[in-house]
Each structure stands twice: as C-alpha cells, then as structure tokens.
Amino acid sequence: MSFWEFANPKKFMDWTTPVVPWMAGLSAVFLAVGLIWGFFFTPDDFRQGSTVKIIYLHVPAAFIAINAWIMMLVASLIWLVRRHHVSALAAKAAAPVGVTMTVIGLATGAIWGQPMWGTYWAWDPRLTSFLILFLFYLGYMALWAAIEDPDTAADLTSVLCIVGSVFALLSRYAVLFWNQGLHQGASLSLDAEENISDVFWQPLVISMAGFVLLFIALVLLGTRTEIRLRRAKALSARAARA
C-alpha cells in the first residue's frame, strides 16, 4: 500500500475520523498547560515586566502564520503534480487558519508593542512582512471564493500560491532593505548562542506544541468539511443527470 492512498478522499475520511478528536483534545491540554504555566507561574522579565507574557500567544501564532503558508505551498505542489483532491482541499482549509493566526500575531504584537516601543504600530520589517503575508492570504482566499469550478479553483490558487511564495520571500528581503527595525531577533532558534532563558522557554515550547496541534486539528476538520461539500455536490450532480 502506497503512502498516497491516505490521500484518497474516502480513506482520508476514514483515518481522520478518530484522529481529529485526539488532536483537538491534545491541543487543548497543551494549550492549557502552556498558557497557564506561562501566565501564572513564570517570573516577570526584569526589563519588560509582566507584558512579556504575551509571548505565549504571540510567538506560536506567528510561527503558525508562516508555516501554514508553507504547508499550503507544499499541498499546492502536490496537487499540481499528483492531482490528489485532498491536497488541494487541505490547502484551501489551511488558509483561514493561517490568516487568523496572522491577525492574532499582528494584534498581540501591537498590544505588546505599545508598552515596549511606545507605539501600537511601527513600519518595522517583521511587522510589515506580516502585514504583507496577511494580504497574500486575503488574495488567495478571494481567488478560491471567486471561482466556481472546484478543480479550476484548485489549479489557479495553486499557481497563485507558488508565485505568491516567491514574491512573499522577495518582499521579505525588500522590506529589510527598506527599513531596519525595532523588533528583537528570533525568540527561538536552534543555532543561537543565547535564547531566552529556560523559565520562559519551557512553557513557550508547550504552548507552541499546542498551537501546532490546534492547527492540525483545524486543517483536518476543514478538509473534512470540504470533502463532504464536494461529495454532496458530486452526488447532486449525479442525481440531476439520472
């Protein structure tokens, strides 16, 4: 049995049925542990005070916002190359989650920025890049919504996703060129000498895991809904011709 059989719509429905509640439940547990630990059982930062605690929402949301787009890119490529319907529908289902995470990232960033930088919004490269990412999500979802035929929509949005990825990357570098910013460096990275200290780090990783599980659960749920919609359409088309 090939790996791709999991992408058959019927098989996909079968194996995701038990998986979705597990993902949702696990994500709830991780989020609860991560956020409660982060909010109530970590010390205040010596410079930033308690405002630092918004990091437990801000960083995971931003992480998902970017990786949702990368997941959509991979799914689009799979659709274009192997024509697996589930792949295209998963990309479609990921977009609303991605855009929500982008908005959460931007909003928590603004709330954090006010006490730290004295302004809700600055045309800082990271903030600007996220704003541009938000526009890309909007365009992508608008194109899905505008096209009636599902396969045509899948093809065109996939092409847009690929071209958009290239231009999003270009925009990232263009924005860096355009303005050096206020934003601190990456909060988490594997190769950096100095990460944020362990007391903040542990709940943050748990919270990130919670967000990743939440993303997976939401995308699976969204994909299942899209598959059901397609099935309903296919059935009514068949009934209309019978």
Partner 1 sequence: MIALLRRDLTLAVRAGGGFGLGLAFFLIVVILVPFGVGPERELLTQIAPGILWVAALLAALLSLDRIFALDWEDGALALLATSPLPLEGVALIKAVAHWLTTGLPLAFAAPALGFFLNLTPEGYVPLFWSVLIGTPALSMIGTFGAALTVGLRRGGLLLSLLVLPLYVPTLIFGAEVARRGAEGLAYSTPLILLAGITAGSLALLPIASAAALRVNLR
Partner 2 sequence: MTLTVTNLSVARGPVTVLQGLSFSVEPGQALILRGPNGVGKTTLLRTLAGLQPAHGGTMSIPDAAAYASHADGVKSALTVSENLAFWAEVHGTRLSNDVLETFDIADLSERITGTLSAGQKRRVGLARLGVMDAKVLFLDEPTVSLDAFSVKMFATFLRDQHLAKGGIAVIATHIDLGLDAPELDLTPFVAKPGTGDSPDEAFL
Tokens found for residue 111? 């709330």
Least distance (Å) between residue 163 CB and partner 2: 22
Query: Closer to partner 1 at the Cβ: 41 or 177?
Result: 177
Grouping H, G, I as helix, E, B as strand and the rest as coil, residue 193 is coil
Is 8 one of the binding residues for partner 2 (CB under 8 A)? yes
The window from 8-16, 119-127, 157-165, 208-216 that contacts partner 2 (CB under 8 A) reads: 8-16
DSSP state of 44: P
> Which of partner 1, partner 2, none sits in contact with 10, Cβ below 5 to 8 A by type?
partner 2
Grouping H, G, I as helix, E, B as strand and the rest as coil, residue 45 is strand
> Which of partner 1, partner 2, none sits in contact with 227, Cβ below 5 to 8 A by type?
partner 2
Work out whether the CA dihedral 130, 217, 226, 67 comes out positive or negative: positive
Map the footprint of partner 1 across residues 142-181, applying CB under 8 A: 142-143, 146-147, 152, 155-156, 159-160, 162-164, 166-167, 170-171, 173-175, 177-178
Nearest-angstrom CA–CA distance, 217 and 64:
13
Nearest-angstrom CA–CA distance, 47 and 202:
20
Residues in the chain: 242
- DSSP lists the bridge partners of residue 49 as 45
Q: Are 143 and 100 in contact (CB under 8 A)?
A: no
Tokens found for residue 217? 């659960």
Map the footprint of partner 1 across residues 54-73, applying CB under 8 A: none
> Which of partner 2, partner 1, none sits in contact with 1, Cβ below 5 to 8 A by type?
none
Query: Closer to partner 2 at the Cβ: 11 or 172?
Result: 11
Is 242 one of the binding residues for partner 2 (CB under 8 A)? yes
Q: Are 35 and 207 in contact (CB under 8 A)?
A: yes
Tokens found for residue 123? 């045309």
Residues lying near partner 1 in the complex (CB under 8 A) are found at 132, 135-136, 138-139, 142-143, 146-147, 152, 155-156, 159-160, 162-164, 166-167, 170-171, 173-175, 177-178
Residues lying near partner 2 in the complex (CB under 8 A) are found at 8-10, 85, 149-152, 227, 230-231, 233-235, 237-238, 241-242
